[in-house]
Amino acid sequence: MSIDSIPAAPREAAIADVASLVRSEHRAPALIAMAARPRTRADLRELTGASPSTIRRTLRTFEQRSWVRRDGHRYGATALGAAVASGMETLLALIETERTLRGVWTELPEAVLELALERPGTTTVTVAEHDTPYRPVNRFRSLLRKTDRFRFVGFDVGLYDPCTDEFGRRVLEGMEAELIDSPDVAEYMLSTYPERCDRLLESGNLTALVHDELPPYGVSRLDDRVAVSGYDPDSGGVTVLVDTDAPEAREWADSVYAAYRSEARPLEPERFEDVEIEA
């Protein structure tokens, strides 16, 4: 049933029920808790921090709606209440994710944005803040530490400290890595870190490719996980990292990577041996 087919009166009543649940911050958590298992009034007071009189009124309201049923000293969610609790959990997770993405959503590909919003429980969204600008980079580094096979295309979050050291260490430890970078990025890395690049390329664990037209975001495949990074084109800083192990995300990332890899060409380090990078 579409929302347009719902008569106005039932829709208004449903909105009133939702408003009742969210009007006080303890109501949704209490219903969700009772959907997980039966609870006493003392349990609910401890869980929510609400007063005894508030818990009594809340339980009375829930009983009137047939959302909970009393059994002795405990209250448990009915099938109706459990369905409402599940919907509220999904809605709260969606709003939390949307609020996190609100300032950076334009920097992510549409497919990843849709996944994060449609299945918020399957994704981790890490956003840079004014006082913690390296949160996305640090999250990326934590993923690298546990990865045995790494593939990447696009805007390179791995260029940022402290990821460069972590990436190099993991490659030398045996992580199988394949990168598709722009010629400019390859030139910068080879000219700025010639010894490090030589060690990584000589390890046999790193395959470096270049492509002239890369996406304005980064796509990483880390074992069975996908991480997509967005950045501010003005500052060049990484603003958001979305990572997930959802199958549809892996399918999307593999498709994007395969398309760019089919057009990429091998890196030729000798082309950059005499190139100087301007300060």
Give 226's strand partners: 221, 244
Q: What is the pTM of this model?
A: 0.80
Q: Name the token pair of 195.
A: 């010894």
Q: What is the pLDDT of residues 264-276, one digit of tens each?
A: 999 987 655 544 4
Q: CATH code at 76?
A: 1.10.10.10
Distances (CA, A) of 154 to 14, 70, 221, 253: 45, 56, 12, 12
Q: What is the pLDDT of residues 43-91, one digit of tens each?
A: 999 999 999 999 999 999 999 999 999 999 999 999 999 999 999 999 9
133: containing domain: 103-272
Q: What is the pLDDT of residues 122-158, one digit of tens each?
A: 889 999 998 898 899 999 999 999 999 999 999 866 5
Per-residue pLDDT at 5 exceeds 80 = no
In this structure, the answer to whether residues 37 and 111 fall within a common structural domain is no
What's 51's DSSP letter? -
In this structure, the answer to whether residues 162 and 207 fall within a common structural domain is yes
In this structure, the answer to whether residues 152 and 183 fall within a common structural domain is yes
Q: What is the pLDDT of residues 180-227, one digit of tens each?
A: 999 988 888 888 888 989 999 999 999 999 999 999 999 999 999 999
| E strand intervals along the chain | 39-40, 68-71, 74-77, 123-127, 149-154, 176-181, 206-210, 218-222, 225-231, 238-244, 265-266
